[in-house]
Structure 1
Amino acid sequence: MRHVFVFIEVLGAEGGIQSYIQDVLSAYASLPKAEADVFLLRDSQAAPNPLRHCRQLRFHYFKSTRPMLGRVRLTVALMSCLMRYRPEHVFCGHINLAVMVNRLCRWLKLPYTVLTYGKEVWDPLPPAEQAALAAAERFWTISRYSRDLACQANQIDPGQARLLPCVVDGRQFMPGTAPDALVAQYSLKESLVLMTVARLWSGDPYKGVDMTIRALPQILQVFSNVKYLVIGRGDDQPRLAQLAEDLGVAERVIFAGFVPTAALADHYRLADVYVMPSREGFGIVYLEAMACGVPVISGDSDGSAEPLQDGRLGWQVSYRDADAIAQACIEALKGEDSRCQGDWLRQETLNRFSASALAARLTELLSETD
């Protein structure tokens, strides 16, 4: 199999999409007879690349101080690659690259698939991007929720979509004892801990951090030793801190700031409950928490239905209902529900969302492109 992948950025930033793409490429590299060129618009050769030594993958970097120049260079190099090698299939890694990929593939009569993730395709796209998505042989997405919104907003046949869900590394994310240093750092001794990992960006206020803060007064009436650890950074933090101050719970809310991926597992081990009543395309963080044996609370009308297996593994609540969030947190903190059994949560999560499961699903999808 010879394929081409084209992405905007995979290595130079940390985030759910970047982690997901790296997992997909790693699964691809594990397949027999797989061979691909990977084009990266905003990554440089100096960026840490855990897949650098995969012989099946050849990386091409086009980061430039002049964004338009980088895009021109990528387009020329991609065209040259497609003309020279005539790959079996091209995988466009972002809707913002789809118009360029569509034009090249249409000219060279090559099939292509567009990878989608979440909000970038939930609303009507500009006409050119919409046409490029419709012209793709397939589009892959991470959840039923993202598929349905993309199809409804852009008049795409749902039969054109295929699901390729996120996964979690069970070797990195596993149950364990919370490190004493972190307990001391965040003053969590003898506390019950709610935790969220999210970007605190004012442009995306629906991560549920504000509503969880609003739920704290009710939770504290039942569990007076609760603290809320918020991991992430962004320009919305001052608003959230002020909200906690206004509600009289500022001393119960801890803003930890950015935590690198390598340190996340130890932070999950601090938590008694992971809570993020949000609007997610999927929500890798739910998988990470459950792989660490931590009960989870999510929104009830988004892509989190997949990792929570339609509520079988956690609580799904209205993401703008502080009362419902408070009640779910109280139930989870009591620890009496089967959804609080850490070993079971971990096993059920890994059964469906492990690296081996991703490789098997990717094999199925690639067989459709033959």
Structure 2
Amino acid sequence: MQTTDTPIHHVFVFLEIFAQEGGIQSYVKDILEGYQSLTEQPDCPYQADIFLLRDSADSKNPFSGGNLTFHYFLSGTPWLGRLRLATALLKTLLTQRPDHVFCGHINLAPLIHALCKPLGIPYTVLTYGKEVWDALPEPKRYALQAAQEIWTISRYSRDRLCAANKIPIKQVQFLPCIVDETLFTPGEKPPTLLEKYHLTGCTVLMTVARLWSGDPYKGVDVTIRALPAILKEFPEVKYLVIGRGDDQPRLAQLAQDLGVAERVIFAGFVRTEDLSAHYRVADIYVMPSQEGFGIVYLEAMVSGIPVISGDDDGSADPLQDGRVGWRVPHRDVDCVAEACLEVLRNLNNPAELRCNGSWLREQTIAKFSKGALTQQLKVLIEQQL
């Protein structure tokens, strides 16, 4: 840790952290936890103000003490909340002259650019996935191009955002997603969940995904279409789908039309604290989708569950280019079916490391633990000093 006699003041600006649950919110919390752990190291000069557009002071904030100060701007009138955030942020920039600003979403980038650029304050934009995969409107693109750095979660996201928005690859740094290996652990299949979902004696495929009609790329429909071929060889298979959304009726009808409705269980929403037990129910985690990264793959692997993903997305990083899992064309039903069959045939094969739960957990923790994120965050911040 580099040290200095004067404090180093950072500002983070996010849409929200506490008001909603989701992959981005979880990732941001991990970043802030890593940052806070850095501030607790001896002689660390870092301190930060955290601006939250859509969170309120009543939010359940797990961060307390230390060198993090939170500012909340939730308003019943969205434009008023944005105005209050912009005003407070400008005041901070003018009076405190922070060393660096971290913009937590591309939707905030034009504001950060407009306020920081005239004052000569460097800023970094955090990106996550598909929100920057296509050509952006000029204000957002200019804000990206003018940033000192852009942080993103995977090589795939880097390549797409650079190609679509004319960003030099050297401007982009990686800060990958991580998994809490203390929350997600291997274990026996919980009898209560086997009984609840009628899975006793079954081999279980599982997906955890939002079932939203505007976001169908998770591949649940592809997996359902693959079931008839899978069931011919493994008739004991059932498919447990965890998640909710307005696309569930279509997916349920698809299962009905294919004659596999009794083999597909829609579990609905499951709280984060209950997910670990649900992963233990699974024999294979299958999500042939298109992800910016895919935290769920990490959650499955540290739970000792073999994983199948798509082969044209950010899952290349958590699956380590296929070294620790199977990657298949994400809309190809036949390929998904064959991958599921291959994993099912090898579940008890000691020669297939990708089905070895202990090995999967070890390999995942080595690259995607909280300690690994904290170390990478330290490196990135020190590069900016």
Match of residue 173, structure 1, among 184, 192, 199:
184
Q: How many residues align?
A: 369
SS of residue matched to 2:80: helix
Is 1:48 the counterpart of 2:60? The answer is yes
User: 1:174-219: CA deviations, max 9, x gaps?
Assistant: 1012221111110110000000000001111110100000000011
The alignment's C-alpha RMSD in Å is 0.8
1:54, CA displacement in angstroms?
3.9
User: Which residue number corresponds to residue 293 of structure 2?
Assistant: 282
Look up the equivalent residue of 1:134 and give its one-letter code: Q
Look up the equivalent residue of 2:381 and give its one-letter code: L
SS of residue matched to 1:44: coil
1:369, CA displacement in angstroms?
1.1
Match of residue 4, structure 1, among 11, 16, 21:
11
Q: Distance in 2 between matches of 1:284 and 1:229?
A: 18
Q: Distance in 2 between matches of 1:172 and 1:54?
A: 24
Q: Distance in 1 between matches of 2:304 and 2:358?
A: 6
TM, length-normalised to structure 1:
0.99
Match of residue 232, structure 1, among 218, 228, 243:
243
Q: Counterparts in 2 of 1:289-300, with a 5 A limit?
A: 289-300=300-311
User: Which residue number corresponds to residue 156 of structure 1?
Assistant: 167
Unaligned runs of 5+ in 1: none
Q: Distance in 2 between matches of 1:83 and 1:262?
A: 42
Aligned partners of 1:168 and 1:354 also within 8 Å:
yes
SS of residue matched to 1:332: helix
State the percentage of identical aligned residues: 62
Aligned partners of 1:29 and 1:54 also within 8 Å:
no
Aligned partners of 1:42 and 1:62 also within 8 Å:
yes
1:46, CA displacement in angstroms?
1.5
Is 1:244 the counterpart of 2:255? The answer is yes
Q: Counterparts in 2 of 1:8-47, with a 5 A limit?
A: 8-31=15-38, 32=41, 33=44, 34-47=46-59
User: Which residue number corresponds to residue 89 of structure 1?
Assistant: 100
Q: Distance in 2 between matches of 1:345 and 1:2?
A: 39
Q: Distance in 1 between matches of 2:154 and 2:258?
A: 36
Is 1:130 the counterpart of 2:150? The answer is no
SS of residue matched to 2:66: coil
Q: Counterparts in 2 of 1:49-64, with a 5 A limit?
A: 49-51=61-63, 53-64=64-75
1:2, CA displacement in angstroms?
1.5
User: Which residue number corresponds to residue 219 of structure 1?
Assistant: 230
Moved more, 330-339 or 128-137: 330-339
Q: Distance in 1 between matches of 2:156 and 2:361?
A: 23
Look up the equivalent residue of 1:49 and give its one-letter code: N
User: Which residue number corresponds to residue 257 of structure 1?
Assistant: 268
Look up the equivalent residue of 2:283 and give its one-letter code: D
Is 1:363 the counterpart of 2:363? The answer is no
User: 1:39-68: CA deviations, max 9, x gaps?
Assistant: 0000112222222x1412111111111000
Look up the equivalent residue of 1:74 and give its one-letter code: L
SS of residue matched to 1:108: coil
Q: Distance in 2 between matches of 1:284 and 1:81?
A: 34
User: Which residue number corresponds to residue 342 of structure 1?
Assistant: 357
Is 1:142 the counterpart of 2:153? The answer is yes
Aligned partners of 1:298 and 1:304 also within 8 Å:
yes
User: Which residue number corresponds to residue 3 of structure 2?
Assistant: none
SS of residue matched to 1:206: helix
Runs of 4+ residues deviating >2 angstroms: none
User: 1:158-187: CA deviations, max 9, x gaps?
Assistant: 110001000001100110122211111101
Look up the equivalent residue of 1:115 and give its one-letter code: L
User: Which residue number corresponds to residue 117 of structure 2?
Assistant: 106
SS of residue matched to 1:310: helix
Aligned partners of 1:215 and 1:325 also within 8 Å:
yes
Aligned partners of 1:98 and 1:132 also within 8 Å:
yes
User: 1:77-129: CA deviations, max 9, x gaps?
Assistant: 11111122211100000000001000110121100000000010001000011
TM, length-normalised to structure 2:
0.95
Q: Distance in 2 between matches of 1:56 and 1:249?
A: 54
